[in-house]
């Protein structure tokens, strides 16, 4: 955090918005690479993300807050890396099979899980009214899946996408837990290290056979997401999990538009409806309470 920051909330919101642009670019680049070179799957993308991201952290933040010894020496940093690596692999595996828009919509259910986990674990307030919106959100998720289920197109990739969202919810809570303990570069480097390690067995045989354009795309995507991840981590240092996650709800819209424009991806009317209900209700569930409502809630306790 910046010492004596006069407006940490405004700075946190700006960082979250910047991260959305870079996260969307990362997903769209990976989608393009997977179409051009099918061997560049989620495992290969995770391998590159860990390798390139870790290298960038070393070059940019060495001596400026990055603590390599904490990657293995601090239990919560280690936990962030392990949990984050699982979340990255599951998310990247869904991009190639579900498309950019669908993959991100599923992944962005993570604020629901993150808000509940943060309430139990960190004691961050969770209002009773939020539970109602969570039920609506899961209803929207059912509508989003409904067409695929009835048409026999529902697959393990949708399940993997939801698993990744749960894991991502755990990850953002750990980031929040580390906000005053570790520099953002150390937190991100832990994810890079374990993403690389976890992906090695499943990707090393594929990397050598990729065309040079695929290597360039994977490196570009990894550099872009490194900027996005560090920016988001700084944002979560300044904002509660619920508020930071609610801003990230803009990501599916940006990515879906990019998927339509770049790859001619299309969601059916039912999927648009379910996705809108899902994301809208998720945002309402995790949005910060107004000051008046927060004060009333505090007085009631």
Q: Is 91 inside a domain boundary?
A: yes
Lowest-pLDDT range, 19-23, 193-197, 246-250? 246-250
Q: Each residue of 122-139: pLDDT tens digit?
A: 787 777 777 788 888 888
Alpha carbons 206 and 184: distance in angstroms, whole number: 31
d(CA 62, CA 70): 13
pLDDT > 90 in the chain, percent: 34
The pLDDT, as a whole number, for residue 47 is: 95
Which is higher by pLDDT, 198 or 1?
198
C-alpha closest to that of 222 among 79, 87, 82, 27: 27
How far apart, in whole angstroms, are the C-alpha atoms of residue 203 and residue 206?
5
pLDDT of 51-91, one tens digit each? Answer: 999 999 899 888 888 899 999 889 999 999 999 999 999 99
Beta-carbon contacts of 288 under 8 Å, excluding residues fewer than 6 positions away, are 240, 242, 243, 246, 294
Dihedral sign of CA atoms 161, 166, 167, 173 in order: positive
Task: In whole angstroms, give the CA distance from residue 40 to residue 52.
Answer: 15
Which residues span the domain enclosing 169?
9-207+224-289
Residue 97 domain flag: yes
Q: Residue 218's closest CA among 89, 54, 95, 48?
A: 48
Answer whether residue 161 is part of any domain: yes
Could you give the number of structural domains in the chain?
1
CA 255 to chain centre: 13
Flag whether 217 is in a domain: no
How large a percentage of the chain has pLDDT more than 70?
A: 91
Q: Look over the chain and give the mean of its residue pLDDT values, rounded to a whole number.
A: 84
In a domain, 4, yes or no: no
Token pair of 37, please? Answer: 């070179």
Grade residue 290 by pLDDT with cuts at 50, 70 and 90.
very low
Please name which of 68, 21, 33 lies closest in space to residue 228, comparing C-alpha atoms: 21
pLDDT at residue 127, as a whole number: 75
Q: Does residue 295 sit within a domain?
A: no
In a domain, 213, yes or no: no
Structure-token match 């648009």, residue found: 272
Token pair 């894991």 is found at: 167
Question: Which token pair is 114?
Answer: 């993150």
At residue 6 the predicted structure's pLDDT band, cuts being 50, 70 and 90, is: low
Q: Helix (H, G, I), strand (E, B), or coil: what is residue 125?
A: coil
Cα–Cα nearest to 90, from 45, 152, 25: 45
Count helices and strands in the chain by DSSP H and E runs: 14, 0
- Phi first, then psi, for residue 66 (nearest 5°) are -70, 130
Average pLDDT value for residue range 29-48? 93
Rounded alpha-carbon distances, angstroms, from residue 292 to 123, 186, 239, 288: 20, 38, 19, 11
Asked if residue 253 has pLDDT above 50, the reply is: yes
**pLDDT attached to residue 297:** 32
In a domain, 178, yes or no: yes
Q: What is the 3-state secondary structure (H, E, C) of 72-118?
A: HHCHHHHHHHHHHHHHHHHHHHHHHHHCHHHHHHHHCCHHHHHHHHH
């Amino acid at each position: 955090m910046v010492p004596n920051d006069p407006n940490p909330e405004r700075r946190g919101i700006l960082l979250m918005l910047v991260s959305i642009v870079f996260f969307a670019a990362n997903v769209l680049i990976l989608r393009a690479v997977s179409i051009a070179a099918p061997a560049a799957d989620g495992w290969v993308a995770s391998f590159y993300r860990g390798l390139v991201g870790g290298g960038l952290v070393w070059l940019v933040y060495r001596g400026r807050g990055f603590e390599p010894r904490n990657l293995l020496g601090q239990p919560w940093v280690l936990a962030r890396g392990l949990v984050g690596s699982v979340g990255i692999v599951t998310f990247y595996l869904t991009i190639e099979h579900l498309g950019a828009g669908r993959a991100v919509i599923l992944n962005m259910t993570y604020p629901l899980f993150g808000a509940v986990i943060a309430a139990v674990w960190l004691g961050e307030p969770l209002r009773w009214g939020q539970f109602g919106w969570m039920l609506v959100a899961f209803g929207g998720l059912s509508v989003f899946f409904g067409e695929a289920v009835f048409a026999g197109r529902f697959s393990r990739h949708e399940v993997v996408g939801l698993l990744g969202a749960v894991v991502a919810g755990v990850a953002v809570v750990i980031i929040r837990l580390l906000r005053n303990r570790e520099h953002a570069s150390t937190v991100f480097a832990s994810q890079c290290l374990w993403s690389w390690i976890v992906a090695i067995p499943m990707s090393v045989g594929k990397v050598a056979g990729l065309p040079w354009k695929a290597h360039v795309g994977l490196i570009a995507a990894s550099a872009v997401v490194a900027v996005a991840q560090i920016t988001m981590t700084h944002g979560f240092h300044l904002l509660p999990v619920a508020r930071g996650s609610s801003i990230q709800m803009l990501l599916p819209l940006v990515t879906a538009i990019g998927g339509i424009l770049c790859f001619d991806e299309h969601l059916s009317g039912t999927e648009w409806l379910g996705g809108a209900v899902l994301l809208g209700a998720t945002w309402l569930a995790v949005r910060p309470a107004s000051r008046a409502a927060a004060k009333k809630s505090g007085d009631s306790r």
